[in-house]
Chains A and B, each alone.
Chain A
Amino acid sequence: EDKVVQSPLSLVVHEGDTVTLNCSYEVTNFRSLLWYKQEKKAPTFLFMLTSSGIEKKSGRLSSILDKKELFSILNITATQTGDSAIYLCAVERTGNQFYFGTGTSLTVIP
């Protein structure tokens, strides 16, 4: 059965801390892994990863994929209160299907 597992389920940090969010997967016919940020409404796209070992970076956020060990991490450095959100990991398989994890809820305290 295809599944995507995220950890931790929730996290509370202080502004300026660095956090690492984890996503492991067991999905047949893997095509890509995506990270999304969800605040009050719709998820918004952060990164798409298709190759192992190549870091994607956007400002204070970065992500990397390990296709051998079947996981990805999302790092956020120098966290700000605006980073508070649910971070979703999704895996795309061939056949145009996406499987989502349950998300990690991040709260950044001033």
Chain B
Amino acid sequence: NAGVTQTPKFRVLKTGQSMTLLCAQDMNHEYMYWYRQDPGMGLRLIHYSVGEGTTAKGEVPDGYNVSRLKKQNFLLGLESAAPSQTSVYFCASSSWGQGTQTQYFGPGTRLLVL
């Protein structure tokens, strides 16, 4: 049971390049999330998914797209990377228990956009 995994761990992009971050979970969780973490800003929700084939915008969705084609995977895409997207990206998944959810986080992807 690997929990939540993310690939890649680290990536450097040039402005305008595109890339996809992959998140995978093996806990059969319905809900999956993408966050970014910046110094002094805490974790901010980019997009989330409440089930296979569904996605929704979070707090800071601009410049990102997501897809949830399979229940265990949640992809985060940057179509045209900008320096402002330099950040650490965390994926999380969760399930219901006792009327609420507990999130489990992946190890993070550090992205540098030059």
Contacts and interface: CB of A to CB of B under 8 A. Distances in A.
Nearest to B105: A42
A20 B104 CA distance: 24
The size class of the interface chain B forms with chain A is 20 to 34
Nearest to A102: B42
8 contacts: A4-B42, A42-B107, A44-B105, A90-B103, A96-B48, A96-B50, A97-B48, A100-B35
B84 interface: no
A99 B4 CA distance: 20
Interface of A: 4, 31-32, 34, 36, 41-45, 48, 50, 88, 90, 92, 96-103
A63 to B, nearest CB: 14
B45 A97 contact: yes
A101 B40 CA distance: 10
Interface SS of B by simple majority: strand
Interface SS of A by simple majority: strand
B51 to A, nearest CB: 10
Given A31-B100, A34-B102, A96-B48, A102 B107 contact: no
Contacts of A97: 45, 48, 58-59
B6 to A, nearest CB: 9
A50 B100 contact: yes
Interface of B: 4, 31, 33, 35, 40-45, 48, 50, 56, 58-59, 90, 98-108
Contacts of A42: 4, 90, 105-108
A98 B59 CA distance: 10
Contacts of B35: 100
A85 to B, nearest CB: 14
B108 A45 contact: no
A87 to B, nearest CB: 12
A34 B103 contact: yes
Given A41-B108, A42-B90, A42-B108, A98 B40 contact: no
B8 to A, nearest CB: 14
Q: In the complex, which of the residues B90, B103, B104 has the most CB atoms of chain A within 10 Å of its own CB atom? A: B103
